[in-house]
Structure 1
């Protein structure tokens, strides 16, 4: 399948969470595919810390239950779980209204609905696992361009002050979409601003979170409070996503820590007692970014390069992870059949399989934000009834739980050697 003139089979632009997960999955499922990752951060034993010390101000990611299953398949969950705080309960409420719904992992015979993991710890687990693979790492470096060739693609890489070409079958863009590479390659992203900002920080409360994640919708925008800290003992630290207008963001950032806590208390309420500490605050404008056509011959967008969702529903990385596993399976089948990895038949099939999950998840996340952002009385009444209905109607509650747990659109794992026909039968 692979021409001798090719330097590698697959080139991944970006070695963050999406790119590193894709590389690791390919090494596990399709080890015959030669993979080169182009990343700004080096991958070497001496570049990785020997131990991990959790930081109060660490940024974190919410992993759905379905994402845990993926990491189990990759042999990564045992290490990730060491610092993964379980979400055993989810409480959704609408400030100033009676409507609320509650989800409990035990009602679905699960240990947890999901988990909260520090980004740095998750990245460290991925890097350590990648050291034991045959993945090639070009770093620090960046992809600055690509040209199609008869064999696949010729990718231009800038490393230090020099540029060189990497020839392969396919380029996967996993750099998050901020580098401009997506646009350089001719992909058109549609962006809709929510007119708000996300303030991200960690907080401490006087009462224990009891492993509960709170989704709190207010007239000023949605908020999320996710349990953080020890995986085994319910603590008092949580990760906060606080939606603010431009004016409110400026006001909050100018406040002292004590005043920030008081302002937060007023918006969130007293469900976990008093807010006693707030950590370093990060913020960014909220947008829904989508790319309708994420594949072209020889190139595919994944992760945040393909979509950026509102963070309050915690769907972004989990959606990306399901897409990555779908893509890995298409690459595995193509490699076994001798089909070029960058052919439109391969990438188009990936897009066809991933599209329903992508569309459903984007709509689910966006509709939550827009529905709960309206404060008109008739809309609020319908919304209240909907939350109460979710809490009472078993079928509706199970549907909502499947979305929260990331299992509604997840395709089953396919082990090496399983045929596409067997996979289809298993999926049915």
Structure 2
């Protein structure tokens, strides 16, 4: 069957791809499909409950949350012509210092050892969101994609060759629906897609911390007591020049006590647990917390449907790999869509989508198991576990080929 005949046999829908959710993952997918839209005529739409034309609230600079982007993610955003808008506001991570509080084990991962300027970058979430949002607005002005905003999907129903989507404003069809709304809409439950949930009996406590000396581009992973702590280097703000983002894994049986501390008492406990390797902690911003779980969707693909981002998998933040994994999935899905469309196959074809899932399964399994293993290894306080992990840290620091492989995997390479 030639390509033109194949195309004639594809069910005609309003859109080839409909993305549900204009968050960081959904917007990144729209950007990854731009070339296919311009060069091949792919029809893409995006649905978002919030009005994308309205300016968003920007949090106070000291309290603004940030994400760690691996070097691989930085390269992806460079490929999508987005990095030039992010680079000036991105803090390079030049070294990751991993240690065990009160023990001898230390390892250091250095960008210089890999011949690169950074292992990754820390970027404020609202900065990344605004850059992606500006791109979406440009797409709408140039009629590159269709935005349904503000609008909400109330129902999804399989139809021949795709899905029928019921919006609050209208009804449309698409060959492929990408569910990238973080699983918050209830559409997964409506479709009967469950999530396997692992409860860690831990809370993540996040806040920005001011230091009394420069962080020098060092990210700290410190295993102290019953839960690990991470400090991510941040750019300066108008109030404090030296700042880091804290991610503290707190056991549930300690959470209420720590949550109720005054700011100064919180800093005192944090300093006592972390030590003085990074600096003296002199101020803390707004503290947020959330229960830590690992979630995996029971299905990530169906005919005409892909579950993407946090809706597909949410992993422990211990190694900062969740968003980077989702971006790798996003680019793999964009490549899969391009291959199907250019071959005259429906972009919602199940066999094609299964190839995407099989391609990403190894990365998803390895990344989630790696983070899960770290949680269990570094939350144990018995002497044998402490000795084993300290010997492991020292061995990793001296086994340069092994450390390089570990570093490059963490960098998304």
Match of 1:153 in 2: 163
Match of 1:218 in 2: 224
> Is the aligned partner of 1:26 residue 2:36?
no
Match of 2:100 in 1: 94
> Is the aligned partner of 1:10 residue 2:17?
yes
Deviation by residue 1:27-53 (Cα, 9 ceiling, x = unmatched): 134432111111122223xx247x989
Q: Secondary structure at the match of 2:116?
A: coil
Distance 1:361 1:29, change over 3 A: farther
- TM-score scaled by structure 2? 0.92
How much has 1:142 moved relative to structure 2?
A: 2.1
Task: Tell me the distance in 2 between the aligned counterparts of 1:168 and 1:371.
Answer: 45
> Is the aligned partner of 1:143 residue 2:147?
no
Further displaced range: 361-370 or 62-71: 361-370
Task: Tell me the distance in 2 between the aligned counterparts of 1:292 and 1:216.
Answer: 33
Task: Tell me the distance in 2 between the aligned counterparts of 1:399 and 1:181.
Answer: 39
Task: Tell me the distance in 1 between the aligned counterparts of 2:249 and 2:271.
Answer: 14
Is the 1:228–1:235 contact (alpha carbons within 8 Å) kept by the matching residues of 2? Answer: no
Match of 1:70 in 2: 76
How much has 1:380 moved relative to structure 2?
A: 1.6
Count residues in correspondence: 398
Q: Secondary structure at the match of 1:187?
A: coil
Distance 1:357 1:4, change over 3 A: closer
Deviation by residue 1:221-269 (Cα, 9 ceiling, x = unmatched): 11110000149xx951001101112342222222221111111101111
- Aligned pairs for 1:15-414 (under 5 A) are 15-31=22-38, 32-44=41-53, 47-48=54-55, 55-133=61-139, 134-159=144-169, 164-230=170-236, 235-407=241-413
Task: Tell me the distance in 2 between the aligned counterparts of 1:359 and 1:318.
Answer: 14
Deviation by residue 1:1-35 (Cα, 9 ceiling, x = unmatched): 48795221111111100000001110134432111
Task: Tell me the distance in 2 between the aligned counterparts of 1:4 and 1:404.
Answer: 42
How much has 1:388 moved relative to structure 2?
A: 0.4
Gaps of 5+ in 1: 408-428
Further displaced range: 288-297 or 11-20: 288-297
Q: Secondary structure at the match of 2:117?
A: coil
- TM-score scaled by structure 1? 0.89
How much has 1:291 moved relative to structure 2?
A: 2.3
Task: Tell me the distance in 1 between the aligned counterparts of 2:228 and 2:409.
Answer: 18
CA root-mean-square deviation: 1.9
Q: Secondary structure at the match of 2:61?
A: coil
Task: Tell me the distance in 1 between the aligned counterparts of 2:157 and 2:389.
Answer: 50
Deviation by residue 1:123-167 (Cα, 9 ceiling, x = unmatched): 1001112222212111122222211111311012235xxxx3220
Distance 1:29 1:107, change over 3 A: farther
Q: Secondary structure at the match of 1:9?
A: strand
